[in-house]
Amino acid sequence: MPIEPATRSLIQRAAKVLADGGVVAFPTETVYGLGADATNADAVLRVYEMKGRPRFNPLIAHVADLETAGAHGCFNAPARKLAEAFWPGPLTIVLKRRAESRICDLVSAGLETIALRVPANEIARGLLRAAGCPVAAPSANRAGHVSATAASHVAADLGEGPDFILDGGDTVLGLESTVIDLSGPEPLLLRPGAIPREEIENILAAKLGDATTPNEPTSPLSPGQLASHYAPRARVRLEATCVEPGEALLAFGGNPLPTQGLVVNLSPKGDLREAATRFFAALRQLDDSGCAGIAVMPIPGEGLGEAINDRLRRAAALRGA
Ligand code: TXA
Ligand code: MG
């Protein structure tokens, strides 16, 4: 499983691996994805197995442009508006699936909907254009673990699994795409992410309904929103006002809590965008230090803070809950 810097010729080689039914990890602007040809059920099955992902949790189909997306999902007016405003970019739109789409059922985990995204990262775009197929790609981490924002995280989590890891350096946004469901009568926020809710509501001129409370694992609406997810090994303690013995500190802002232990500050200047970019790598770094627990300072809930706090709540949830 070679990790290789993504030159043009390597992107072509990786595209060939995809077209031949292989599994390729690649950077996007949000996190690394673990991709397979979405029309090839055997290849998609390998992705589920490699991640240890439950089969009821569907995957996002990545495509090169809005036109291609239109061949797979039934676009309505709000979907078109959002796609025009945010694609290419960190937005995933869930739509009714077109009957003629060649994407295999396994990608949708048996649902009648399909999640579509046009990523902005140039390596991802080059790969999608060269592969010429929709690419089903969950985040390239072990299921339930912290998402990968660097090629080394992919290798640490998935080892020899992928046939190819395209190295595009650290991802620029650091948090997954925002997932919006437009398949029903009202727009729903399925997963807060790299585009804040307010920006989407502005474009739609409507409020987003919420579907982000942890659901039963088999809930068809938002199957990925399990309570325990993004979980490091160490116990995570939120809203900390002191650091206890054995704990490392995930700090935010200009006044980190006093401690003799390890500290990673997501943003000393209190900038949520900077915090989002560093978030998953910071969790991995603290976890790798061998600390017993991670104390997390309060992080404001507005803008990107909604997505950061969502991931933190899941990281702190009891395993198996
Ligand atoms: O930024 C991202 O979205 C990254 C990069 C690689 O594109 N991908 C990613 O994929 O985060 P994943 O599989 O880790 O998360 C996809 C989320 C899950 O919560 C899943 O349940 C939801 O999207 N999803 C996928 N298809 C769906 C569908 N048809 N209906 C409802 N939710 C869906
Ligand atoms: Mg994921």
- E strand spans, the chain: 3-5, 24-26, 33-37, 60-62, 91-96, 113-117, 135-136, 164-167, 178-181, 188-191, 209-210, 235-237, 247-251, 263-265, 293-296
Does residue 182 have its Cβ closer than 6 Å to ligand 1? no
Q: For the chain, report the end-to-end CA distance as a whole number of angstroms.
A: 34
**Helix residue ranges, H only, 132-246:** 151-158, 197-204
Q: What is the pLDDT of residue 166?
A: 95
Protein fold of 4-210: DHBP synthase (3.90.870)
* Per-residue confidence in pLDDT tens, the chain, 321 aa: 556 667 889 999 999 999 999 999 999 999 999 999 999 999 999 999 999 999 999 999 999 999 999 999 999 999 999 999 999 999 999 999 999 999 999 999 999 999 999 999 999 999 999 999 999 999 999 998 999 999 999 999 998 899 999 999 999 999 999 999 999 999 999 999 999 999 999 999 999 998 855 444 444 455 556 666 778 889 999 999 999 999 999 999 999 999 999 999 999 999 999 999 999 999 999 999 999 999 999 999 999 999 999 999 999 986 543
What is the distance between the alpha carbons of residues 219 and 3, in angstroms, rounded to a whole number?
Answer: 36
What is the distance between the alpha carbons of residues 307 and 175, in angstroms, rounded to a whole number?
Answer: 8
Nearest ligand, measured from the Cα of 31 = 1
Nearest ligand, measured from the Cα of 226 = 1
For 275, the enclosing helix (H) or strand (E) is helix 272-288
Annotate 196-235 with b (16+ C-beta within 10 A) or e (fewer). Answer: bbeebeeebeeebeebbebbeeeeeebbbbbbbbbbbebb
Does residue 63 have its Cβ closer than 6 Å to ligand 1? no
What are the domain boundaries of the chain?
Answer: 4-210, 235-316
Residue 45, token pair as written in the block: 């099955």
Helix (H), strand (E), coil (C) string for 59-76:
CEEECCCHHHHHCCECCC
CATH superfamily membership of 235-316: Threonylcarbamoyl-AMP synthase, C-terminal domain (3.40.50.11030)
Does residue 120 have its Cβ closer than 6 Å to ligand 1? no
Closest ligand 1 atom to residue 225 Cα is: 19
Residues in the chain: 321
